[in-house]
Amino acid sequence: GIQVEQSPPDLILQEGANSTLRCNFSDSVNNLQWFHQNPWGQLINLFYIPSGTKQNGRLSATTVATERYSLLYISSSQTTDSGVYFCAVKALGGQNFVFGPGTRLSVLP
């Protein structure tokens, strides 16, 4: 089945810094989502982005499907951005979403 990798596994930032999180996948996809899991375990939808670029406030995401990766950009980070960021992909012809292992982000005040 499709393999999903995320990097870096851990990231520590000072408040106000920018960051880029990466999601690589091993096969063609027709669905891709980015989620933020807050410290209480709640999974929040950030983007549905099988291709192209989207922006929502301080967050933006780009998926280059032909090269099999997606990037999540966080600008001017805040302590509330802390948590784990997951990408989930559905392979072309596949049945279900497969989750990556996540990037744990800690934003320090």
Partner 1 sequence: DGGITQSPKYLFRKEGQNVTLSCEQNLNHDAMYWYRQDPGQGLRLIYYSQIVNDFQKGDIAEGYSVSREKKESFPLTVTSAQKNPTAFYLCASSIVYQSPLHFGNGTRLTVT
Residue ranges in contact with partner 1 by CB under 8 A: 31, 33, 35, 40-43, 45, 48, 86, 88, 90, 95-97, 99-102
CB nearer to partner 1: give 76 or 80: 80
Query: What string of DSSP letters covers 43-106?
Result: EEEEEE-SSEEEEETTEEEEEEGGGTEEEEEE-S--GGG-EEEEEEEEETT-SS-EE---EEEE
Min CB(104)–partner 1 separation in Å? 8
Min CB(41)–partner 1 separation in Å? 5
Min CB(25)–partner 1 separation in Å? 13
Question: Do 21 and 81 touch, CB atoms closer than 8 A?
Answer: no
CB nearer to partner 1: give 25 or 35: 35
CB nearer to partner 1: give 31 or 60: 31
Min CB(64)–partner 1 separation in Å? 19
Structure tokens at 87: 């990408």
Separation of alpha carbons 5 and 93, rounded Å: 20
Compute CA 57 distance to the chain's CA centroid, rounded to the nearest angstrom: 15
